[in-house]
Amino acid sequence: MNALEIKNLTKSYPDFTLDNLNLTLPSGCIMGLVGENGAGKSTTIKLILDMIHKDSGSITILGRDNGDNIKLTKEDIGVVLDEVGIPECLTVNQVGKVMKHTFQNWNDAEYSRLVQKLALPDKKQFKEFSRGMKMKLGIAVAMSHNSKLLILDEATSGLDPVVRDEVVEMFSEFTRDESHSVLISSHIVNDLEKLCDYIAFLHKGKLLLCEEKDLLREEYGLVHCSIDEFQAIPFNSVKYKKENAYGVEAMVLRNAVPSDIHISPISIEELFVFMVKEAK
């Protein structure tokens, strides 16, 4: 089963259109949604969660339309958005007690384990938490009610590199069981590169690509060569190129490049930057 299927999703604001978006997240997988500021990542996530209304298209979450019975679906979705909606005066333990009454499948033991793992203070009130601590608490809650799908909007951005690494590991553990999946948006492409099975690039409301991460690395590469050598690379396999006095740097489709030209691996971040530049 697919955890999430988005078909022909469109939403227009006066200066922005999320344009005919199609995405499929298979169960057991992690998808990273990458995009510049204003690309449409939060709009997509809000549409999935039915927080805003779509103009057209369909969204199916865990086999159910997101408009139908969304309350039931929300039990199965762990959500971490930019603002973690937790009452200011609560401590970590009190949050656990409130959530036990909010979610049918609340798991106290899992919550305690995650709170400890993320080194959250037990005496402080939520209003005294730093931004990173707030995100960590949001993540612990989202992962403690037996959710099948985690949806995270920029949830790792406020975290320091060590904690980010731990959280990335927690998400990987979560999807080791094939029935759990994650959709995560982030500017920090390096985190997504480590974590994700699928990468989706959004640019100005349009999907530039959505592909398995390993396939992207197999398909694309970087070439640094002289202008003469570059003539031997078929034009339609060059996805982006930059010339300077020393030669050419180009993003290419590997299988079309003559074997005597060296191809270096390309990172997901480089791929994203080149694709956005090409699309501009």
Q: Which residues pair with 15 in a beta bridge?
A: none
| CB nearer ligand ATP, residue 238 or residue 268 | 268
Q: Does 16 bind ligand ATP (CB under 6 A)?
A: yes
| CB nearer ligand ATP, residue 16 or residue 103 | 16
**Contact of 18 with 45, CB cutoff 8 Å:** no
> Which of 43, 36, 45, 49 has the alpha carbon at shortest distance from 16?
43
CB of 2 to ligand ATP, least distance (A): 23
| CB nearer ligand ATP, residue 48 or residue 114 | 48
**Contact of 126 with 90, CB cutoff 8 Å:** yes
**Which of 38, 87, 161, 265 touches ligand ATP by CB under 6 A?**
38
Q: Does 40 bind ligand ATP (CB under 6 A)?
A: yes
CB of 262 to ligand ATP, least distance (A): 35
Q: Does 23 bind ligand ATP (CB under 6 A)?
A: no
Q: Does 39 bind ligand ATP (CB under 6 A)?
A: yes
How far is 150 from 143, CA to CA, in rounded Å? 8
**How many chain residues interact with ligand ATP (CB under 6 A)?**
11
Query: With the CA atoms of 220, 223, 227 and 229 taken in that order, what torsion angle do they form, in degrees rounded to the nearest 10?
Result: -90
Give the end-to-end CA distance of the chain in Å, rounded to a whole number: 36
> Which of 88, 178, 195, 182 has the alpha carbon at shortest distance from 143?
182
CA distances from 69 to 49, 64, 160 (A): 12, 8, 38
Q: Does 35 bind ligand ATP (CB under 6 A)?
A: yes
For ligand ATP, the binding residues in 147-186 under the rule CB under 6 A are: none
**Which of 27, 43, 175, 186 touches ligand ATP by CB under 6 A?**
43
Q: Does 42 bind ligand ATP (CB under 6 A)?
A: yes
| CB nearer ligand ATP, residue 233 or residue 275 | 275
| CB nearer ligand ATP, residue 100 or residue 204 | 204
| CB nearer ligand ATP, residue 15 or residue 122 | 15
**Contact of 133 with 120, CB cutoff 8 Å:** yes
> Which of 70, 17, 20, 62 has the alpha carbon at shortest distance from 40?
17
Q: Does 41 bind ligand ATP (CB under 6 A)?
A: yes
Please give the residue ranges that form the binding site for ligand ATP (CB under 6 A).
13, 15-16, 35, 37-43
